[in-house]
Structure 1
Amino acid sequence: MSNSTLCYLGLGGNLGHPLALFDEVVQHFAAHPLAAGTRESPRYRSAPVDATGPDYVNSVLEIQWLGNAESLLQACLALENTLGRVRTTRNAPRPIDVDVLLVGNETRDTEQLTVPHPRMHLRRFVLEPLLALNPAVEIPGLGLASVHLPATLNQEVNLI
C-alpha cells in the first residue's frame, strides 16, 4: 500500500489466557480502519526476562499502518486497556502487552514512544518471531535484525 507504513508489534502475555488475547489483538487490527493488512508470526513460549512469574507467550504482528506512529501507539494502549492490562511495576506479569517495535524506518525517542523498541535486538522472543515474518527486516540504526540473533541464543524460546 503506497500510503501505509510497514510496522511491527510485539505481543506478549503470561497471565490468564494469552493465546486467546493474541487472537483478539489479531482480529482487532485486522478490522482496524487504519490497518491495511496484518500477518502474525508463529507463537513462542519464553521464560520471563529480568522478572519472575510464569512463562510468556510471544509473537509479532506485522501491520500495514495508514496512520502515524502516535496513532499506532494509542491503538495499542487502548487495546491493552480493553483486554485487561493494568500497569503496575516494570516487567510485572501481565495478561497482554502490545509493544510498538518498528514503524517503517522511523527513529524517535520521546517520553511516549521510542522506535525502534530499545531492547528488541537483545531479546530472542522478539527476534525469532520477527525474523519468521521477515528474514530481511532491518532495525533502523542497528542494521539487519538477523545479525543480532546469535547473541540471544542463550535465551530459551520454544515454538508453541
Structure 2
Amino acid sequence: MDAQRRNAIIALGSNLGDRVATIAQAANEIADLGGTVLLSLSPLYESAAVKPDGVDLDAPEYLNAVVLVNTDLPPDALLMELAGIEQDHGRERHERWGDRTLDLDIVWMDGVELTSDHLTIPHPRAHERSFVLVPWTDIQPGAVLPGHGPVAELAEPVRRELRRFEVVV
C-alpha cells in the first residue's frame, strides 16, 4: 500500500491493572507514533468481559474507548506499532480473548479493505461489539462501517450493554 494519509479508528480496551491510566497512556503513545495525528478520543465505557463462550461475569470488567487518528502508516506498519504499545504495557497472549492490560485493534481505515493472516480491516467483529460501536459513534456520528451500514444505527440496539465511565479527578 502507498503512504497516503488515511483516517483510522483504533479500539482500546483494558481489564487489568490501572485501566484509566493505561488507556490514557496508550492514547498518548498512539498520538506520538511517527506520521500519526490523534484527532479524537472517545469517552470511556465499562463493559463485561467477552470470552469465546460469551460474557464472563467473573472476569474483571473492561474499560473501553476508541481513537480517531490520521496516519500515513500503512495498515501492517500501524498494526506492528500498536503491538509494540501493547507489549510495553505488559500484554501477554495466553488465551484467545483473555484478560489483558491493553488491547489495541484497528477497527477501520478509510478506503482500506484487507484480509491477511494477521489483519482484517474493517475488523470482522466490529459490527457486533457495543464497546466499539458506541464510542465510535460519539466521535464520528456519521461513520459507516463497510458491509454493515451506519455505525450509529448499529450502536443503538447494543448501547445498553455499556456504562459510561466517569473519571473522578
Q: TM-score, normalised by structure 2?
A: 0.87
SS in 2 for 1:94: coil
SS in 2 for 1:10: strand
Q: Which residue, 102, 118, 138 being the options, matches 1:96?
A: 102
Query: What displacement does 1:41 show?
Result: 0.3
Q: How does 1:58-73 map to 2 (within 5 A)?
A: 58-73=64-79
Unaligned runs of 5+ in 2: none
Is the contact made by 1:9 and 1:99 (CA closer than 8 Å) also made in structure 2? yes
Distance 1:6 1:124 in 2: 21
Q: Contact 1:51–1:91 at 8 Å: present in 2 too?
A: no
Runs of 4+ in 1 over 6 A off after TM superposition: none
User: What is the aligned-residue identity percentage?
Assistant: 28
Please list the CA deviations of residues 50-100 of structure 1 after superposition, one character each: whole Å capped at 9, or x if unmatched: 253011000001110111111111111111011100001111111110011
Q: Distance in 2 between matches of 1:150 and 1:103?
A: 22
Amino acid in structure 1 at the alignment position of 2:41:
E
What is the RMSD computed on CA atoms of the aligned residues?
1.3
Q: Counterpart of 1:6 in structure 2: which amino acid?
A: N
Mapped partners of 1:146, 1:15: distance in 2: 29
Which residue is equivalent to 1:26? 27
- Between the aligned partners of 1:116 and 1:125, the Cα distance in structure 2 is 15
Structure 2 counterparts to residues 1-150 of structure 1, below 5 A: 3-49=4-50, 50-52=54-56, 53-150=59-156
SS at match of 1:58: strand
Distance apart, 1:147 and its partner CA: 2.1
Report how many residues are paired: 157
CA distance in 2, matches of 1:16, 1:84: 10
CA positional deviation for 1:37: 3.3
How many Å separate the matches in 2 of 1:64 and 1:38?
7
Give 1:158's aligned residue.
Answer: 163
Contact 2:137 2:155 in 1 (8 A): no
TM-score normalized by structure 1? 0.92
Give 5+ residue unaligned stretches, structure 1: none
Deviations 1:96-135 (A, max 9, x none): 1001101113111111101111111101111110000001
- Counterparts of 2:49 and 2:38, CA distance in 1: 30
Relative distance call for 1:159 and 1:128 in structure 2 (3 A) is: same
- What letter is aligned with 1:157? L
Distance of 2:87 and 2:39 partners within structure 1: 21
